[in-house]
Amino acid sequence: MRAVVQCVSKASVSVEGGEPRCIGRGYVVLLGVGQGDTEAEAERLWEKVRKMRVFEDEAGKTNLALADVGGEVLVVSQFTLYANCRRGNRPSFTDAAPPDEAQRLYERFVELVRRDVPVVQTGEFGAMMDVALVNHGPFTICLDTDSL
């Protein structure tokens, strides 16, 4: 699994022009599921994201995790994180998991987030979405379960 995790002061996703689903301070997680990923990767990735200490404490040091700041989470499926651009000008997505498996693992990841975070919003798997965010910091981290 791959994730781009952005610290935000606020963010939203609108699914196919619908009402925005909004969060305040916390994370936007763009989540991609790859070939061969399992629930174990979903659990390992969420544990890493959940425990990351990237929010500033009173001394200005990045010592606080999501729960320490009462953070919220917006999770958006993003198969394009598995784009392969080595050949030609059009990306290949053959490293991404098949849609049924990717959706199952995306939903499992969201379940894990909801277990630990009171305010969670999501996009809709496979839908056209508009994501808006105010990056705080800016602080953006790319994670891949192959290297965790």
Q: Which residues have a catalytic role annotated?
A: 78-80
- DSSP designation for 35: T
Cα distances from 100 to residues 34, 46, 76, 109, 116, in angstroms, run 12, 20, 16, 14, 25
Number of residues written out for the chain: 148
Side chain identity at residue 125, one-letter code: F
